[in-house]
Amino acid sequence: MSQNLTIALSKGRIFEETLPLLAAAGIEPAENPESSRKLIIATNHEHIRLVIVRATDVPTYVQYGAADFGIAGKDVLIEHGGEGLYQPLDLQIAACKMMVAVRQGFDYAAASRAGNRLRVATKYPNIAAAHFAKKGVHVDIIKLYGSMELAPLVGLSDAIVDLVSTGGTLKANGLQAVEHIEDISSRLVVNKAALKTKHALLEPIIQAFASAI
């Protein structure tokens, strides 16, 4: 019986950087998801399809086996927890840093001193909580879903925990990075059960990705 493979990918920066890796494994999407509203995209292989999901949902689709493998940022994977996922490769794409940032001129050293309470807005509550717990700083975490840079500007929070790449977004909004939490890049994530049951199909793809990094 022939087996099928489903690959979970998100649109945007990860997809752009994933195309050359897929090509190295001989996989070509039949259409570009950026210009299509389709959520299931066929490929040049009848038994391989792509499913297009939110970046934050990739680990969930792979964990439950709705997708056999996918590509997700380390930020998303740490937040998710990684249950049910085998993470064989750091693909070194979508590189950025998880940072703490505050308004320029804000006295972060004083505000984050032991005994104080810091209000932190972020899309990454688990990463933020673990970071400040390690430092022994008490925090109130405010969960946001985007545009974190706004929060300190309008008094929603003292600090943010967010991704920084060029630093352009922080600069444009009068913020500065004050602490590095984690280097982030995207990883290949494989469903642990599929790795066994579809090993013959998955292994050459993982090898092709590894050689193309």
Ligand X SMILES: Nc1ncnc2c1ncn2[C@@H]1O[C@H](COP(=O)(O)OP(=O)(O)OP(=O)(O)O)[C@@H](O)[C@H]1O
Residues of this chain that bind ligand X (CB under 6 A): 10, 12-14, 54-56, 73, 75-76, 94-96, 163, 165, 184, 186
Chain residues that interact with ligand PRP, rule: CB under 6 A: 146-147, 162-169
Q: Which is nearer to ligand PRP, 18 or 191 (CB)?
A: 18
* Cβ contact 118:159 at 8 Å: yes
**Nearest-approach distance from CB 127 to ligand PRP, in angstroms:** 13
Residue 55, contacted partner among ligand PRP, ligand X, none, CB below 5-8 A by kind: ligand X
Residue 94, contacted partner among ligand PRP, ligand X, none, CB below 5-8 A by kind: ligand X
Q: Where are the beta strands (DSSP E) in the chain?
A: 5-9, 40-42, 48-52, 69-73, 85-90, 96-103, 117-122, 138-143, 159-164, 175-184, 186-191
d(CA 107, CA 94): 31
Residue 81, contacted partner among ligand X, ligand PRP, none, CB below 5-8 A by kind: none
Distances (CA, A) of 173 to 132, 143, 161: 24, 20, 15
* Cβ contact 142:172 at 8 Å: no
Q: Which is nearer to ligand X, 75 or 158 (CB)?
A: 75
Q: Which is nearer to ligand PRP, 145 or 200 (CB)?
A: 145
Residue 76, contacted partner among ligand PRP, ligand X, none, CB below 5-8 A by kind: ligand X
CB neighbourhood size of 73 (10 A): 25
Q: Which is nearer to ligand X, 2 or 35 (CB)?
A: 35
